[in-house]
Amino acid sequence: MTDHRALSKGELILKSFGIDSPKQIDLEAIAFELGAKVRYRKIDGSEARIVGNGVSAIITVNEDHKATRQRFSIAHELGHWVERHGKGGFICAKEDISPQNDAAKSAEAIANGFASQLILPSYLFDPIAAGMPITLDSADKIRMAFRAGLTTTALKLVKGTGKAAAIVCHGLQGRQWFALSPGWPEYMRLAAELNYETEAFELLYAADKAGKTTLRQEAASRWISGRQGQELKVRSQSVKLADGVVLSVIAVT
């Protein structure tokens, strides 16, 4: 039996509404029940905002963004509302609403952690992900069920495995961020630079390249620095995202 004391705030909210499948996660309805109304508008210079008076609130989401991004923005602003961050409201920029920074202790990071659990609650996510390989293909399948973004889903998949796996994002200026699985050995280091022999490198620098690569096995030295990289193999897969950065998931075999 699930120990409810171990559930996050987002999961407890979903449980209180009797949600037992991904398709039941209606964020606008949940927001309404929590005293917040969601509306869609053009917003210059920000992703979303919330204005409240302590009893009720209005969440405004950028109408120009794709549905999965809008869902994460709604969940993020609900995080501010549930956590009672400040008074009056929050205006959140793109860099604020990002699942990869949920380990920090800032109000934005706490809201991101709440959003990830509201959209991809572990009590529903873990049974679906169990036994699936740590790949972008797996993340793609899971995200469709939850109507979640690929980055958010792949990040949760990596963070939830006991195997040695990593997710890393590269831009033209270099590595932007990365996260390691709980099973990643402390002595093993990700390479700081993107190796030119990887398909991720080609995706990033070739203007005519887009989409997701096929899963491949390759020398770990292309991703891992030091002696360990010379001795191991990894499975890797990469995808070019809408803003031109390349997201890669690797798993040590």
Residues 115 and 17 in one domain: yes
Largest distance between two CA atoms of the chain: 59
CATH number for the domain spanning 98: value is: 1.10.10
Instruction: Kindly provide the residue ranges of all beta strands, DSSP E only, lying in the chain, ordered along the sequence.
Output: 36-41, 48-52, 57-62, 89-92, 165-171, 174-180, 189-190, 216-219, 224-225, 233-240, 246-252
* Claim to verify: residue 162 and residue 67 sit in the same structural domain: no
Does the residue 103 lie in any domain? yes
Rounded CA-CA distance 162/160 in Å is: 7
How do 165-171 and 174-180 pair as beta strands?
antiparallel
Whether 127 maps to a domain, the answer reads no
Distances (CA, A) of 198 to 99, 106, 151, 213: 25, 35, 20, 10
**Last residue in a domain, options 67, 100, 119:** 119
Q: How far is CA 249 from CA 8, 225, 228, 232, 246, in A?
A: 26, 16, 18, 16, 10
Q: Are residues 78 and 173 in the same domain?
A: no
Q: Which stretches in the chain have pLDDT values below 50?
A: 1-5, 86, 104
Whether 131 is in a domain gets the answer: no
> 175: closest CA among 183, 164, 167, 185?
167
Clarify whether residues 167 and 248 are in a common domain.
Answer: yes
Q: Mapping DSSP to helix (H, G, I), strand (E, B) and coil, where does residue 176 land?
A: strand
The pLDDT tens digits for 217-233 are 999 999 999 877 788 99
Number of domains in the chain: 2
113 and 170 fall within a common domain: no
Same domain, 239 and 168: yes
The answer to the question of residue 205 being in a domain is yes
Distances (CA, A) of 226 to 47, 170, 200, 235: 40, 20, 20, 18
In a domain, 16, yes or no: yes
Question: Considering the domain boundaries, does residue 110 fall inside one?
Answer: yes
Domain membership flag for residue 143:
no
Per the domain annotation, does 146 fall within a domain? Answer: no
Answer with the one of 102, 119, 136 that is the final residue of a domain: 119
Task: Please state, in angstroms and rounded to a whole number, the distance separating the CA atoms of residues 34 and 77.
Answer: 12
CATH code for the domain of 190 = 3.30.450
Report which DSSP code applies to 212. B
Contact 224, 195 (CB under 8 A): no
Q: What is the pTM of this model?
A: 0.88
Domain range for 52 is: 9-119
Listed residue (38, 33, 40, 42) closest to 51, CA to CA? 38
- Tell me how far CA of residue 113 lies from CA of 105, 107, 199, 240, 245, in angstroms: 10, 10, 31, 24, 22
Q: Are residues 114 and 36 in the same domain?
A: yes
